[in-house]
Amino acid sequence: MTTNLPVSPAVKLLTEARGLIENNGWCQGALWNNSGEYCIYGALFHVHCGSPHGNVTSILAEARTSLCLASKAQPATPSGLVKWNNTPGRTKEEVLAAFDKAIARSMGLP
């Protein structure tokens, strides 16, 4: 028997943003590009607001904080997360792994 535990809005946001990058592609140097690829922070904004622009809420802030902790982005701010995303040599796989860690952390898993 499986139990469906409630999922927080931040976990839903992180999961959908991860899916956007996994399915549409990942980019560096911009929140998004004309090919439909997203950087780590652009994906969060797109899923949260329906576009890469919009208002920051506590849900977005919680998701961003989880990603900063998972990726060890410094400083742990939006600009730090973008800087981490844009680091030369960074890969899509590393970005997806950061999402996986952030999702687990937000669910209270090790």
| 1 part of a folded domain | no
Structurally, how many domains does the chain consist of?
1
In which domain, by residue range, is 55 found? 9-106
Q: Within a domain: residue 96? A: yes
Find the largest Cα–Cα distance for the chain: 46
> Residue 102 class from Cβ within 10 Å (0-12 exposed, 13-18 middle, 19+ buried)?
buried
Reading the chain (110 residues) residue by residue, the pLDDT tens digits are 455 667 888 888 999 999 999 999 999 999 999 999 999 999 998 888 865 555 557 777 888 888 888 888 888 888 899 999 999 999 999 999 999 999 998 888 87
pTM of the model: 0.85
Torsions phi, psi of 35, nearest 5?
-85, -5
On whether residue 23 sits in a domain, the answer given is: yes
Classify residue 40 as exposed, middle or buried by CB count within 10 Å of its CB (0-12, 13-18, 19+).
buried
